[in-house]
Amino acid sequence: MSANHLINSELLGYFKKGFESDPLMTVSEWADNFRVLPSESSSEPGQYRTDRMPYLEEIAYELSPQSSTDEVTVIKGTQLGFTELGNNMLFCYADLYPCPMLQILPTESAVRTHSNDKLWPSIKSSPRLKNTFREKKTKDGSSITSLVFKGGSIALGWSNSAATFASMSRRVVICDDVDRWPDEIEGGEPLDLAKNRAEAFPNNKKIYVNSSPGKKHNSKVLPKYETSSQGLYTMKCPHCGEDVVFEKDGFKFNYDENYQLIDDVVFVCSNNGCIIEEHQKYEMMKKENGARYVHKFPERKHKGYRVPSYYSPFAKWNEIFQLFLDARKEQKQKKENTKMSGWTNTKDANVWEEKIEKLDVKEFLTRHEDYAADVPNGAFILTAGVDTQDDRLECEVVGWGKYGESWSIGTFILDGDPKYPNVWQKLDKVLQSTYKHESGIDMKIMGMGIDSAGHRTEYVYGYCKSRIEQNVFCLKGDTAVETPILKSNVSKASNGTLRLYMIGVNSAKDVIHGHLTTKEVGPGYMHFPRKPEYNEDYFKQLTAEKKDKTTGRWSKFRTRNEKLDLRVYNMAALKILENQYYPNGLDWEVVEAEFNARVEEEINTVAQIVEEVEEHNSFSDWRDMY
Ligand SMILES: [Zn+2]
């Protein structure tokens, strides 16, 4: 070993030591030196390395005290390491720049999981932090929601509690997953309230807002991002050297008829059509190879970044695009956007915007069909929906086939005040009727949903209570936009003797709108019989509402909308039946097989009787011949 080398390594040690205690470290420098990821919550435990995720470095710098930026907004996909970035920020400040901090997550349970499974194991696994934080269960010590250190603390709060926003001033405020926050709480919009927490630190505050986006109409992170510098991670194409940014439309992949990938996903350079394979992305993303953020508005002080999952060292392009194909399959086969909206939000890091098509009443009037029986082939389950008015009940019977395809069977207007038994007796007749299926078997209504809103609630309860065995369900509409078609927890009514099913009317109308816009026969298509009640007035009522894109709520623009409500109650009845008979999820292939087995059994029994009779007849015929 040369003397020169000795001096160098000594010097290096000296500088390293000096550097380690340098209070001017940025968040990523601190993490690269001191952060040890715990094995219980990390896919890659051990020493933290920013160079694994080069796209985080600039953001980490802007979150550091060295940057004069006081606001950073990130729209992100999943599996990109942003959770650990937030943790690095908290720990770096606690260690080197102690101050009061606040981290807000969507819910209390998210806070508890984050504190117990992420923060505390991280503190225990990083030697540098072991003595920084006061232990839990000591006097003036830390707790799940307050991590105390010399010179400050990290308070953890949740977005749906006013108490979170009423605490003391904080220099650092981290707002996590804001598109899962409520639109409003007592006192105002939670994101504004969170910002107010840092007002007492005008010169050195840091507000860090991040989220995977949600729906466009009520996204909180999107409007923030739009007022920011809007940075995208831009790299040099390894073939032609021109700038490329990973966006969905640049990816190329092939798949078979069952929506399965048949080769590796590649990225096509937008400049010269060069083919970039995934293994090349790690070199491309390095700073020394020319990768950096390009900001649309570099002069803006508020720094913003959008990072989709394509950059992730943890999620592979093949996995990401197989999920995309699964979502595409659901769209094609079930006419549903649940998976695609989720994929767009969490992988493509984009808001999801629903398309609201204008519906043409005249077009529906050309769609009447001549059914070969009361219930045509393809429908396996019958439901009924009932709307309660002060002077009548309105009812529609619907047949359900695979993946949302449906057949209107008939509507009934039953006159009479629901205060009196007469009108309910008429409803009993509908409930007990048999409907002839095209296969020849008789069908009955499997479930009936009755709306309990209005002035006749007690009478609805009374009717439903005595017909629980016949699957008569008592429904109550819930107008919150995020409520699913059927809320999982059931309320009790009528002194706890009746189950009250809460129905997300906006979610149901979203799905019905999708079905109404389906023009080809198959999943989601709505069939209507050539019957006098399916007239212009029926279709006007069915299409009487429009969606407010800002609030996500449906409201009527025509006076009457009962026929749309009837569809909502039918859909709710079907959902309740699904939960009751298929708790692990309804498989339409199974439903069809069961239905066909039933048809075969019943028709065979009938055929056997006919055969016996015919045999007897033919015997007589034979006798007659002689
Ligand atoms: Zn190229």
What are the tens digits of pLDDT across the range 111-134?
A: 999 999 999 999 999 999 988 998
The per-residue pLDDT for range 38-89, each reduced to its tens digit, is 988 777 889 999 999 999 999 999 999 999 999 999 999 999 999 999 999 9
Q: Are residues 96 and 162 in the same domain?
A: yes
Would the pLDDT of 106 be above 80? yes
With respect to residue 1, please indicate whether it lies within any of the assigned structural domains.
Answer: no
Q: Is the pLDDT of residue 20 over 80?
A: no
Residue with token string 């570099």: 298
Where residue 619 falls among pLDDT bands split at 50, 70, 90?
Answer: very low
Paired with 491 in beta bridges are 500
Between the CA of 252 and the centroid of ligand 1 the distance, in Å, is 14
Rounded Cα distance between 356 and 553, Å, is: 12
7 belongs to a structural domain: no
Nearest to 122 by CA among 37, 28, 31: 37
CA of 345 to the centre of ligand 1 (A): 28
Q: How far is the CA of 238 from the centre of ligand 1 (A)?
A: 7
Segment 332-349 shows an average pLDDT of 91
What tens digit of pLDDT does each residue of 143-195 get?
Answer: 899 999 999 999 999 999 988 888 789 999 999 999 999 988 988 999 999 99
Q: From ligand 1's centre to the CA of 164, what distance in Å?
A: 49
Confidence of residue 27 (pLDDT cuts 50, 70, 90): very high
- Number of domains the chain contains: 4
In a domain, 271, yes or no: yes
Does 565 lie in the same domain as 442?
yes
CA of 276 to the centre of ligand 1 (A): 8
Question: Model confidence at 357, in pLDDT bands (50, 70, 90)?
Answer: confident
Position 613 confidence tier, pLDDT thresholds 50, 70, 90:
low
Confidence of residue 615 (pLDDT cuts 50, 70, 90): low
Residue 49 lies in a domain: yes
On whether the CB atoms of residues 289 and 52 are closer than 8 A, the answer is: no
| pLDDT at residue number 622 | 42
Q: Is the pLDDT of residue 283 over 90?
A: yes
| Residue 561 CA, ligand 1 centroid: distance in Å | 56
When pLDDT is averaged across residues 297-312 and rounded to a whole number, the result is 97
Q: What is the pLDDT of residues 386-396, one digit of tens each?
A: 999 999 999 99
**Residue 83 corresponds to which tokens in the numbers above?**
């959770």
Task: Tell whether 376 and 460 lie within a shared domain.
Answer: yes
The residue segments making up the domain with residue 601 are: 590-626
Instruction: Tell me the CA–centroid distance for residue 230 and ligand 1, in Å.
Output: 24
Distance in angstroms (rounded) separating the CA atoms of residues 435 and 226: 56
C-alpha 234 – ligand 1 centre gap (Å): 13
What tens digit of pLDDT does each residue of 553-585 get? 899 999 899 999 999 999 999 999 999 988 888
Q: Give the separation between CA 520 and CA 403, rounded to whole angstroms.
A: 13
Give CA–CA dist 143/141, Å, rounded: 7
pTM for the full predicted model: 0.69
**Residues 420 and 521 occupy one common structural domain:** yes
248 CA to middle of ligand 1, Å? 16
Instruction: Indicate whether 487 pLDDT > 70.
Output: yes
Residue 92, exposed/middle/buried by CB under 10 A (0-12, 13-18, 19+)?
Answer: buried
Tokens of 504: 């997300």
CA of 379 to the centre of ligand 1 (A): 53
Q: How many A from CA of 267 to the centre of ligand 1?
A: 10
Dist. CA 5 → ligand 1 center (Å): 43
pLDDT digits (tens, 9 = 90+) for 463-484: 999 999 999 999 999 988 888 9
Is residue 325 within 8 A of residue 251, CB to CB? The reply is: no
CA–CA distance, 516 with 231 (Å, rounded to integer): 40
The domain boundary, picked from 334, 352, 370, lies at 352
Same domain, 581 and 594: no
Instruction: Among 24-28, 428-432, 493-497, name the one with the lowest average pLDDT.
Output: 493-497
* Residue 505: inside a domain: yes
CA dihedral sign, ordered 24, 28, 29, 31: positive
**Would 320 be classed as within a structural domain?**
yes
Q: Indicate whether 74 belongs to any domain.
A: yes
Cα–Cα nearest to 472, from 431, 419, 416:
431
Q: Answer yes or no: do 178 and 207 share one domain.
A: yes
Residues 257 and 147 in one domain: no
Q: How far is the CA of 506 from the centre of ligand 1 (A)?
A: 46
Residue 497 has pLDDT above 60, yes or no: yes
Assess whether 170 and 137 both reside in one domain: yes
CB 94 within 8 A of CB 133: yes
Residue 240: predicted pLDDT: 97
Q: How remote is the CA of residue 289 from the centroid of ligand 1, in Å? A: 14
Evaluate if residue 11 carries a pLDDT over 70.
no
Compute the distance from residue 242 Cα to the ligand 1 centre, in Å. 6
450 DSSP β-pair partners: 386, 474
Q: What are phi and psi of 71, to 5 degrees?
A: -140, 130
State in Å: Cα 269 to ligand 1 middle. 5
CATH number at residue 109: 3.40.50.300
Residues 392 and 530 in one domain: yes
CATH of the domain at 445: 3.30.420.40
Task: Evaluate whether residue 10 is within a structural domain.
Answer: no
Q: Are residues 568 and 594 in the same domain?
A: no
Q: What is the mean pLDDT of residues 246-255?
A: 96
Ligand 1 centroid–CA 317 distance in Å is 19
User: Does the structure show a pLDDT above 50 at 10?
Assistant: no
Alpha helices in 208-303 (DSSP H): 221-226, 281-284
Spacing, Cα 348 to ligand 1 middle (Å): 22
Q: Are 408 and 343 in contact (CB under 8 A)?
A: no
161 and 285 in a single domain? The answer is no
Residues 488 and 594 both lie in one domain: no
In the predicted model, what is the mean pLDDT of the chain?
A: 90
pLDDT at 9 over 60: no
Would you call 248 exposed, middle or buried from its count of C-beta atoms within 10 A (0-12, 13-18, 19+)?
A: middle
Closest Cα partner for 425 from 441, 414, 438? 414
